[in-house]
Amino acid sequence: MSGFGDEVSFEDGAPAAKTFDTGELEAALSVASKIKPEQNYVGAPKDKEEAETQAREHGYSAPVPYDYSAYGAQATTNGGEGGDMLAPNTVGSGITTAKAVRYEWKDEYGDVGPKIPELEDKLFDSEFRMEAGIGRARLDHINIEIEEYVAGHAIKRDIYKFEDAGLHPVVMETLDLMGYRMPTPIQCGTIPMILAGRDVVASAQTGSGKTAAYLIPIISMLMGKAKKLAAKRPDPSKYNPTTDRVRAEPLVLIVCPTRELCIQIFDECRRLCYRTMLRPCVAYGGGPLGQQIEELAKGCDIIVCTPGRLKDLINKPSVLSLRRVRYTVVDEADELLHGDWEEDMKAIMTGGDISEDADSKYYMFSATFPKEYRKIAKQFMAEDFVRIRVGRTGSSHENIKQDVIYCS
C-alpha cells in the first residue's frame, strides 16, 4: 500500500493520481465501534429516568397545556362587575379579559361625561403613563412621506403639536392624563389626514405610536356624532342581563392578528374613551367567549378583535351587527393581507351586514407594506386614499432597546 500522498503512475501515460493510506482510519473506526455510548460523554444518563432527573436539576420542566377554563374562571373572579383588571400582561389581574374596567356612560350625562377621580387613578396610574423619554428629540428628524394617489382638496399635511390638530377638548385633556405631550412622527402625518376624511395606508416602524395615530382622531371625530350614530344601549347603573341585553352595533371596527395586540389596543381604547359615551369592547380567540358576548350585550361602539373570533360573532346576528360601522382599521395589515388570512379578511370586509355607506372610512397600518399587499389594500380603499411612510419601513425605531438573552 502506498504511503500518504504517494503518486501512482499509470502504464498508459495518464497523469499521476494521489492515493491515501486508509489504514489509520480503519483502525480508528475499529476502536470507536467498541466504545459504549456512556463512554462518549462524561456523566451521560444511562436511561430515560436518569435523563429526566438530570434535566429537572438543570431547570427543565415538561410543557403543560394551557387551561383556558381556569383562565376564564380566574378572570371572572378578579374582574367581575366593578373589577379593576388593569395591569397589562398580568394573568388574572391584567386587561386579559373582556371585563376590564372602563368609563360607563349614564343617561343623565350631557354631551361630556363628568370626571371620576377613582377611575382616573386606575386608568391613568403612573405605572402606565407614556412619558416622553430622553430620546424623544431624535424622532423630530425622521422623514414623513405623504403620497396622495388622487389630487384632493387642500388639507393640512402634518402637525407638530396636538394643539395644532383641532382635537376635541376632552380628548386633549385625556392625552394630558396619559402623559402624551408631543405627537410622534406617524401621529404628525396621520392625525390630520384622518380628520380630513381621507382613507389612509400607513407604514411606520414598530413602536412608533401607530395605535394612538388612528384612535385619537377617530374618537375626536365621534365626540360630536356618537349620540346620533350610535345604537341605543342600557344604562349600566340599571343593567339587568336577563332583560336589558342588546345587540352590539359598533361604529368602529379594529381588526388585528393576535390576542396580545388586541389587548394592547383595547387598553389604549379604554383610556382614550374616558369621559366619552363611546364604549370599547374586545373579542379574541383563546379568551372566554361567554364573557366577551356578555360585554357586547351591554352595548359596544368600538370593537377590537381578531379575524377568527370576529367571523364567529358575525355568524351570531343577535350578538353583533356591523351595519353601523363608520371606521374600519386593519392593524398589522401586512399580516392580515397575507395569503393565509386573505379569504378571512375579504369575508370580513365585504361580507355580513357591514356598512357600505359612502361615508365609511378605511385605515391600514403596518410596520411593513410589500407591493403585493398594497394591491390588495387598494380593493378596499377610496380612490383618493393617502399613503404615509415614516422612517425605514420594517425596522424598529432607534429608541427601542432590544436585548438578546442566551440561556445555557
Q: Which of 17-31, 209-223, 325-339, 346-360 has the highest mean pLDDT?
A: 209-223
pLDDT over 70 percentage in the chain? 67
How far the first Cα of the chain sits from its last, in Å, is 48
Q: Which of 71-80, 89-98, 151-160, 198-207 has the highest mean pLDDT?
A: 198-207
Predicted local distance difference test score (pLDDT) of residue 74: 46
Question: Order of strands across the sheet with 386-390?
Answer: 144-148, 386-390, 200-204, 361-366, 327-331, 252-255, 302-305, 280-283
With respect to residue 198, please indicate whether it lies within any of the assigned structural domains: yes
pLDDT in tens, 285-336: 988 999 999 999 999 999 999 998 998 999 999 999 999 999 999 998 877 7
* Nearest-angstrom CA–CA distance, 267 and 393: 26
Predicted local distance difference test score (pLDDT) of residue 97: 61
Q: Are 211 and 264 in contact (CB under 8 A)?
A: yes
> Any idea which of 114-128, 132-146, 335-349 has the lowest mean pLDDT?
132-146
With respect to residue 42, please indicate whether it lies within any of the assigned structural domains: no
Higher pLDDT, residue 51 or 66: 51
* pTM (two decimals): 0.72
Domain of residue 348 covers 142-390
pLDDT at 95 over 70: no
Predicted local distance difference test score (pLDDT) of residue 92: 36
pLDDT in tens, 26-64: 666 665 565 555 555 556 666 777 877 877 777 777 777
Name, in order, each residue with C-beta under 8 angstroms of 128's C-beta and a sequence gap of 6 or more. 86, 87, 88
With respect to residue 209, please indicate whether it lies within any of the assigned structural domains: yes
pLDDT band for 1, please (50, 70, 90 cuts). Answer: very low
With respect to residue 6, please indicate whether it lies within any of the assigned structural domains: no
> Between β-strands 302-305 and 280-283, what pairing exists: parallel, antiparallel or unpaired?
parallel
Q: Are 364 and 333 in contact (CB under 8 A)?
A: yes
pLDDT at 8 over 90: no
**Residues of 326-361 as b/e, b for ≥16 C-beta within 10 angstroms?**
bbbbbbbbbbbbeeebeebbeebbeebebbeeeebb
pLDDT at 264 over 60: yes
Predicted local distance difference test score (pLDDT) of residue 80: 36
With respect to residue 210, please indicate whether it lies within any of the assigned structural domains: yes
pLDDT over 90 percentage in the chain? 39
With respect to residue 77, please indicate whether it lies within any of the assigned structural domains: no
Tell me phi and psi for residue 49, to 5 degrees: -65, -40
Helix (H, G, I), strand (E, B) or coil at 54: helix
Quote the DSSP letter at residue 51.
H
With respect to residue 362, please indicate whether it lies within any of the assigned structural domains: yes
Count of the separate structural domains present in the chain: 1
pLDDT band for 255, please (50, 70, 90 cuts). Answer: very high
Predicted local distance difference test score (pLDDT) of residue 137: 57
Name, in order, each residue with C-beta under 8 angstroms of 234's C-beta and a sequence gap of 6 or more. 240, 244, 245, 246, 298, 299
Predicted local distance difference test score (pLDDT) of residue 242: 92
With respect to residue 91, please indicate whether it lies within any of the assigned structural domains: no
pLDDT at 392 over 80: no
pLDDT at 249 over 80: yes
What's the CATH code of the domain at 197?
3.40.50.300
